[in-house]
Amino acid sequence: MTSLPITIDSVSKAYGSYVALDDVSLDIQAGEFLTLLGPSGSGKTTLLMALAGFVRPDSGKLLLGDRDITRLAPNKRDIGIVFQNYALFPHMNVLANVAYPLALRKTPRAEARQRALATLARVKLDGLAERNIAALSGGQRQRVALARAIVFEPRVMLMDEPLSALDKNLRETMQYEIRRLHDDLGITTIYVTHDQREALIMSDRIAVMNSGRIQQIDTPQRIYDRPSTRFVAEFMGEANIVAPGSVRRIDGAEASGETLMIRAESFHLDAELVGADGVALEGTLRAKAFRGENWLLTLALDGGQEVLVCIPAALAGGCAELAAGQRMTAYAPAAKVHAIPGALA
Amino acid sequence: MTATVDPALLADARRERRFFLSLSLPALFIVGLAAILPILWIIRQSFLTTGGEYTVGNYAKVLSSGLTWSALVTTLELSLGTLAICIVLGTPLALALASARPRVANLLMAFVMLPLWTAILVRTYGWLVLLRRDGLVNAALTGSGLTAEPLPLVYNFTGTLIGMVHYMLPIFLLPVYAAMRDIDPNLVRAAASMGATLGQVIRTVIMPLSAGGIFSGSVIVLIYSIGFFITPAVLGGGKVNPLSTRIERALSTFQDWGSASVLGILLLVLMALIGVMLLAARRLLAQDAVAAAHA
């Protein structure tokens, strides 16, 4: 199947005085896996539903390839959708659910059946074709929803928090499987989630949204390491935003005058592990917590600001003996210290 | 290792169950008193002469009378006609209500429910005012030149049907509306995203999923309309005589408890038959639902 690029051009949508989408523009390449990431109310689902045709934008354009779909009816868009609650038809069995889009397209019954079965095999549901929806587990329903969304070979796939109802282990398995399915089919996919780990694991690019705007769009690594705003920095993980005055260079050189972002896990307690161009933060240990794979230390800098320091358990030989109130220094390598342009925004 | 169950805890559980079962006793008592006893009494009456002796003559008399069978036909025509019109008018209305925004839906629902808050006699005479020869409807029709002569809208089958539909429509609507409102809007969206037109969505998703509500509504409409008395009596003008008016006449004109009881039993049997037929229809519908997706 040929997948298509998507262009979102200055799309806005307001509900009364509440602005759900504020002049959003976004280009998604053909075959790309793009994630819309943001907290609830950030506009990510509204944007997805606008693409699907269930939300009518107030202004702006939506293009599928070079075709304007802004005013096209949802059933003419040829977009596969996986809904958050799966939206499987409870009055049809698994096979009928998956064959439904083919039946709508007047596919001959035998061919529809054969294609539906092949798609079910693809999502590892062989043998469950005759089951009732009510008799399926959450993970199986998820797979039926996937099969139903891809069986008619749509040119674009939209997924609205498809894994949020699954338990943690199953969610992780499905993350890899959905990504693998995407790679096999090469279908342009827009994926909505509020789980930053999920976004990092699955995406080619992530668009971080907040208050109806796209804050930053980039590869997972750059979004994580080089956030362009304080919101992105803090949403993506345990980030410390440090004022220029609280940091000194290890080699004594003049420290940068900018506001810095240092991730909690970038710190070491041993200056040897950090280059001479790294930075040092001094303060008093406020609290410590053992989290299994790491220790989380809360350090109160002399200026009063609190900094989170995360030390992998394998490297944290002395952490258990640390006592609250004790003076200590945390070090971070220069490569992990990122100046935020719009830090106070 | 199985732990032995503490008999005191077991007794507690049993006591709790018994308490909740006992809550249904008042209702059971009333049903027994107000429904089952009279039915038994009617059955007994149907086998007694006016003198109080045992007979099957009442059955012979009623079942051999042409009036009984024409009343039966009228009853069926009225109730099935009412049901058909309720389904045709009520199902789209329920769909409109279920897909309207909540505030609009509530307002429309209030209008639909208004008739239910008015006494049936008042409503029936209301229709009389509207539908008779010099009534509002005919005045409008002849006044605007749409018809040269006033239409015979009342004191006949048409008038009775109009009155019955007016009474039954809200009652039919409620379960259908409830079933449709319970349909996950994402199912409709999902169907549309896969290419279904509005008609296909209605046929393959909405109708199968609200079949239960339509079924319940139909049962209520049939059971009510089989026994309808006031509306045929007032709006039928003596020309529309279902079983209910026959029973009334047997009692008030002839004091013939025997015949009235036989007619009453006929009504009961009719309801039971229709109930069985509807259940069978529902089973068929359920089987069709899966196949319908492929139709």
Kindly report, residue by residue over A5-39, the tens digit of the pLDDT. Answer: 999 999 999 999 999 999 999 999 999 999 999 99
| Between residues A96 and B274, the one the model is more confident about | A96
Q: Same domain for A144 and A195? A: yes
Last residue of a domain, one of A235, A253, A287: A235
Q: Same domain for A11 and A132? A: yes
Q: Same domain for A77 and A25? A: yes
User: Which CATH architecture group holds B74-141+149-288?
Assistant: Orthogonal Bundle (1.10)
Q: Is B99 on the interface with A (CB under 8 A)?
A: no
- Suggest the residue from B193, B197, B203, B204 to mutate for an interface test with chain A (most A CBs closer than 10 A): B193
Last residue of a domain, one of A202, A235, A268: A235
pLDDT, residue A342, reads 57
Number of A/B CB contacts below 8 angstroms equals 75
Q: Which chain A residues touch B189 with a CB distance below 8 Å? A: 52, 54, 74, 81, 83, 87
pLDDT, residue B112, reads 83
Kindly report, residue by residue over A32-66, the tens digit of the pLDDT. Answer: 999 999 999 999 999 999 999 999 999 999 999 99
Instruction: List helix spans (H) across chain A.
Output: 44-52, 94-104, 109-122, 138-150, 168-185, 196-202, 220-225, 230-236
| % of chain A exceeding 90 in pLDDT | 74
Q: Same domain for A161 and A296? A: no
Which is it for the CA torsion A186, A189, A191, A197, positive or negative? positive
Split into its structural domains, chain A has a count of 2
Q: Same domain for A266 and A296? A: yes
Q: Is A153 on the interface with B (CB under 8 A)?
A: no
Task: Please give, rounded to a whole number of angstroms, the shortest distance from the CA of A23 to a CA of chain B.
Answer: 25
Distance of CA A84 to the CA centre of its chain: 15
Q: Where are the domains of chain B?
A: 74-141+149-288
pLDDT, residue A343, reads 47
Q: Quick one: three-class SS letters along B177-190?
A: HHHHHCCCHHHHHH
CB-CB under 8 Å, A103 with B189:
no
Q: Same domain for A162 and A28? A: yes
Pairing of strands A205-210, A239-242: unpaired
Q: Which CATH number goes with the domain that contains A297?
A: 2.40.50.100
Asked if residue A188 is part of any domain, the answer here is yes
pTM of the full predicted structure? 0.82
Q: What is the ipTM of this complex?
A: 0.86
Per-window interface: A 33-62 vs B, CB < 8 A: 52-54
Instruction: Name residue B133's beta-bridge partners.
Output: none
Instruction: List helix spans (H) across A207-321.
Output: 220-225, 230-236
Region of poorest pLDDT, from A49-63, A148-162, A191-205, B264-278: B264-278
Phi, psi (degrees; rounded to nearest 5) at B52 = 95, 15
pLDDT, residue A223, reads 95
Whether the pLDDT of residue A103 is over 50: the answer is yes
Q: Tens digit of pLDDT per residue, chain B (295 long)? A: 567 889 999 999 999 999 999 999 999 999 889 989 999 999 999 999 888 889 999 999 999 999 999 999 999 999 999 999 999 999 999 999 998 888 999 998 888 888 788 888 888 888 999 998 888 888 898 888 888 888 888 899 999 999 999 999 999 999 999 999 999 999 999 999 999 999 999 999 999 999 889 999 999 999 889 989 999 999 998 889 999 999 999 999 988 899 999 999 999 999 888 888 888 887 887 666 545 544 4
Q: Which CATH number goes with the domain that contains A212?
A: 3.40.50.300
Q: Same domain for A307 and A205? A: no
Asked if residue A83 is part of any domain, the answer here is yes
pLDDT, residue B287, reads 66
Asked if residue A185 is part of any domain, the answer here is yes
Q: Nearest-CA residue of chain B relative to A82?
A: B190
CB-CB under 8 Å, A100 with B191:
yes
Per-window interface: A 65-84 vs B, CB < 8 A: 73-81, 83-84
pLDDT, residue B295, reads 42
- The upper half-sphere exposure of residue B22, i.e. CA atoms within 13 Å in the direction of its Cβ, equals 6
If you average pLDDT over every residue of chain A, what do you get? 91
Q: Considering only the beta carbons, identify the residue of A76, A87, A91 that sits closest to B208.
A: A91
pLDDT, residue A165, reads 87
Q: Are A8 and A26 in contact (CB under 8 A)?
A: yes
Whether the pLDDT of residue A86 is over 70: the answer is yes
Q: Is B15 on the interface with A (CB under 8 A)?
A: no
Q: Which chain B residues touch A162 with a CB distance below 8 Å? A: none
pLDDT, residue A70, reads 96
B53's CB contacts (< 8 A; 6+ apart) are none
CB-CB under 8 Å, B190 with A81:
yes
Whether the pLDDT of residue A69 is over 50: the answer is yes
CB-CB under 8 Å, A81 with B193:
yes
CB-CB under 8 Å, B205 with A89:
yes
Q: Same domain for A77 and A202? A: yes
Which is it for the CA torsion B33, B34, B35, B38, positive or negative? positive
pLDDT, residue B286, reads 67
Q: Considering only the beta carbons, identify the residue of A75, A96, A105 that sits closest to B294.
A: A96
The residue range of the domain holding A324 is: 239-339
Q: Same domain for A250 and A170? A: no
Phi, psi (degrees; rounded to nearest 5) at A339 = -80, 130
Q: Which chain A residues touch B192 with a CB distance below 8 Å? A: 53-54, 73-75
Interatomic CA distance for residues A87 and A137, integer angstroms: 14
pLDDT, residue A74, reads 95
B94, two tokens: 């329920």
Per-window interface: B 164-193 vs A, CB < 8 A: 184, 186-187, 189-193
Asked if residue A1 is part of any domain, the answer here is no
Whether the pLDDT of residue A345 is over 60: the answer is no
Minimal CA–CA distance to A6: which of A116, A201, A156?
Answer: A156
Q: Same domain for A184 and A296? A: no
pLDDT, residue A258, reads 81
Last residue of a domain, one of A192, A220, A235: A235
pLDDT, residue A189, reads 97
Minimal CA–CA distance to A311: which of A263, A256, A255, A250?
Answer: A263
Asked if residue A344 is part of any domain, the answer here is no
Kindly report, residue by residue over A215-273, the tens digit of the pLDDT. Answer: 999 999 999 999 999 999 999 988 998 887 788 888 877 767 788 899 999 999 888 88
pLDDT, residue A2, reads 73
Distance of CA B283 to the CA centre of its chain: 20
| % of chain A exceeding 70 in pLDDT | 97
Q: Same domain for A61 and A88? A: yes
Beta carbons within 10 angstroms of residue A225's beta carbon:
17
Q: Same domain for A81 and A195? A: yes
Task: Please give, rounded to a whole number of angstroms, the shortest distance from the CA of B82 to a CA of chain A.
Answer: 29
Q: Is B103 on the interface with A (CB under 8 A)?
A: no
